[in-house]
Amino acid sequence: MIKGYESVDVFIGVDVGKSDHHAVALDKSGKKLLDKTLPNDEAKLRAIIGSLTIHGNLLLVVDQPATIGALPVAVAQSAGILVGYLPGLAMRRIADLHPGEAKTDARDAYIIAEAARTMPHTLRSIVVADEQGAELSMLCGFDDDLAAQATATSNRIRGLLTQIHPALERVIGGHLDHRAMAELLRKYPTPAALAAAGRTRVGTFLTKFAPRAGNRWAEEIFAALGEQTVVVAGTKAAGTVLPQLAGMLLGLRDARAEIYAQVEALVEAHPLHLVLTSTPAVGVRTEARILTEIVGKDFATAGHLASYAGLAPVTWRSGTSIRGDHPSRKGNKILKRALFLSAFAALKDPVSRTYYDRKRAEGKRHNQALIALARRRTDTLFAMLRDMTLYEEKLPKPA
Domain boundaries, the chain: 5-125, 135-265, 273-387
**Percent of the chain scored above 70 by pLDDT?**
93
Position 233: which residue type?
Answer: A
Reported CATH class of domain 135-265: mainly alpha
CB 26 within 8 A of CB 114: yes
The answer to whether domain 5-125 and domain 135-265 are alike in fold is no
The reported pLDDT for the residue numbered 399 is 44
**Percent of the chain scored above 90 by pLDDT?**
64
The reported pLDDT for the residue numbered 344 is 96
pLDDT tens sequence across 308-341? 898 887 766 666 655 556 667 778 899 999 999 9
The reported pLDDT for the residue numbered 297 is 76
The reported pLDDT for the residue numbered 133 is 78
CB 197 within 8 A of CB 250: no
The reported pLDDT for the residue numbered 16 is 87
Q: Which residues of the chain have pLDDT under 50?
A: 398-399
Can you give the pTM of this predicted structure? 0.76
Position 75: which residue type?
Answer: V
Selected from 3.40.50.10860, 3.30.420.10, 3.20.20.70, 3.40.190.10, the CATH number assigned to the domain covering 5-125 reads: 3.30.420.10
